[in-house]
Structure 1
Amino acid sequence: MMGPAEPVPPRDEDPRIASALIHNGDGEYLLHLRDDVPGIREPGCWSLLGGAREPGDRSLEDTVRRELREEAGLDLPVLEPFAVTGALDDGSGHASVRVYAGRWDGDPARLPLTEGVMLRWFCPDDLDRLRMHPDTRDLVRRHATGRASVPSAAARHGAGAVRHIVGVHLYLEDPAGRVLLGLRHHDSAFAPSTWHFLAGHCEQESAVSCLVREAGEEAGLGIDPRDVEFVHALHQLPGPGRRPRLQLVFRARAWTGVPEVREPDKCLGWRWFDPAALPERVVPYTREAIAHVRAGRPYAEGGWE
């Protein structure tokens, strides 16, 4: 009886790296922020999960499935070959990459990430703001264009609904009336080297739950949901072809802890500012929202003209 076939080593010209292009039902793509260290591919960049073929991998699909399990505890039921593209030189020469596409609709914050800094969902409109290899950016856009060419169920039935991104923001005043802002990292995907509210995007949770979670994760602050009150909403269209955003601002009447940097890849420091003397580099809608909150205006619009 013949034993199991030995893995067939790839030819020199064959891809020896496999990556996963993971998308969800909202048209977003899962990207992996790699460590910023020398000697690896795409250091400090947003990339796809994946890695190099190992001797025990019987195929590149085996490779990508192993990498997903090892790096993020992911096991997708369906992965389909999508494209072959290039890769950055990692010190051993240039290599091509076999990319597999698959769908997953979970929360990346709950995955047991073992490599890199974080996993996040991004819509294709966000890619120009990210530090990433051009081939990766092109791959995501190519896949998104192909998906857009297939009419959705809503489009087939004449519905015109557009999903909005919901952001939550913490308006926190100390006893002297100063407002807490954080200095975003210089490599941040959004507003680098700029002061901004403590903020985050709603996941599978309520806006207040998101605010409480982000306050603990980003600054080590404890906030009781009963001490949170809504103070302002900005309905924003960031630009042509971009997804609309509903920016919700909440005030916390009480909290525990002293603001500290818990996520240094996002924020470099927290400071209290006199609302009448904000620093020059403040996210424009943050400056606008502070003025609206102080004036007692609960709603504003931007970018819809």
Structure 2
Amino acid sequence: MRFEHDQRVRYRPLVHVMVLMHRDDGRVLLLRRTGKPYAAGLLAPPGGRLERDETMMGGALREVGAETGVRIAPRDLEFCHLLHHRDPRDGEGRLGVVFTAQRWSGEPANREPDRCSALVWADPARPPADCVPYTAAVLTQFCAGALASVHGWPATGGRA
């Protein structure tokens, strides 16, 4: 039996990792983006792009440490949500892997003042109006207990 080769291009989205740091009062840490990155002036959790040869957990721990100065033990990082987001700038899909942490060592501080202007503790059940749109979507879905969601795609979920 002969199979025809599938001529479609393989999908290789960028992967972003995010960490929802939860305080005892249930609030999560959001950072106000500044400078030239996407969505400057808006709030997002600590996170960023996954680098080559880096695990999702390793990238999340690296990003939260670089941005806030805290250390999270790998055992204290828990997967909580997967977001398939379509970037409004270029229409490309991105995967957002979201983790949560309730324990860390150190006090969160702004370690990247060229990329962040403020740290804000917010109620995830009521995302601030000035969140990055996909951040608000993640917080809403997380509070609903959803493990996966899409954001920014047509109602049909993309191509038919």
* TM-score band, normalised by shorter chain: 0.7 to 0.9
Task: Give the secondary-structure state (helix, strand or coil) at the position aligned to 2:16.
Answer: strand
Counterpart of 2:3 in structure 1 is none
Gapped regions of structure 2 (runs ≥ 5):
1-5, 155-160
1:202 to 45, 50, 71: 50
Larger radius of gyration: 1
Cα shift at 1:158: 2.4
Q: Which has the higher helix share?
A: 1
May I ask how many residue pairs the two structures share in their alignment? 149
Counterpart of 1:246 in structure 2 is 95
Distance 1:190 1:240 in 2: 9
Which AA in structure 2 matches 1:217? A
Distance 2:113 2:88 in 1: 29
2:22 to 170, 173, 178: 173
Distance 2:126 2:144 in 1: 16
Which AA in structure 2 matches 1:191? A
1:226 to 70, 75, 84: 75
Relative to structure 1, is the Cα distance of residues 197 and 291 closer, same or farther in structure 2, using a 3 angstrom cutoff? same
Counterpart of 1:286 in structure 2 is 135
Relative to structure 1, is the Cα distance of residues 241 and 271 closer, same or farther in structure 2, using a 3 angstrom cutoff? closer
Instruction: State yes or no: 1:259 paired with 2:108.
Output: yes
| 1:45-78, Cα deviation, whole Å (9 max, x unpaired) | xxxxxxxxxxxxxxxxxxxxxxxxxxxxxxxxxx
Relative to structure 1, is the Cα distance of residues 169 and 160 closer, same or farther in structure 2, using a 3 angstrom cutoff? same
Identity score, percent: 36
Cα shift at 1:269: 1.6
Which AA in structure 2 matches 1:235? H
Task: Give the secondary-structure state (helix, strand or coil) at the position aligned to 2:130.
Answer: coil
| 1:17-71, Cα deviation, whole Å (9 max, x unpaired) | xxxxxxxxxxxxxxxxxxxxxxxxxxxxxxxxxxxxxxxxxxxxxxxxxxxxxxx
Higher-RCO chain (CA-CA 8 Å, sequence separation at least 6):
2
Counterpart of 1:38 in structure 2 is none
Relative to structure 1, is the Cα distance of residues 261 and 177 closer, same or farther in structure 2, using a 3 angstrom cutoff? same
Counterpart of 2:144 in structure 1 is 295
Counterpart of 2:66 in structure 1 is 217
Structure 1 segments (4+ residues) deviating >6 Å: none
Gapped regions of structure 1 (runs ≥ 5):
1-156
Which AA in structure 1 matches 2:72? I
Distance 1:275 1:301 in 2: 18
Task: Give the secondary-structure state (helix, strand or coil) at the position aligned to 1:211.
Answer: helix
Written as runs of structure 1 = structure 2, the 5 A alignment for 1:51-62 is: none
Relative to structure 1, is the Cα distance of residues 239 and 280 closer, same or farther in structure 2, using a 3 angstrom cutoff? closer
Q: CA RMSD in A?
A: 1.9
Distance 1:270 1:240 in 2: 26
Task: Give the secondary-structure state (helix, strand or coil) at the position aligned to 2:61.
Answer: helix
Distance 1:219 1:269 in 2: 11
Which AA in structure 2 matches 1:260? A
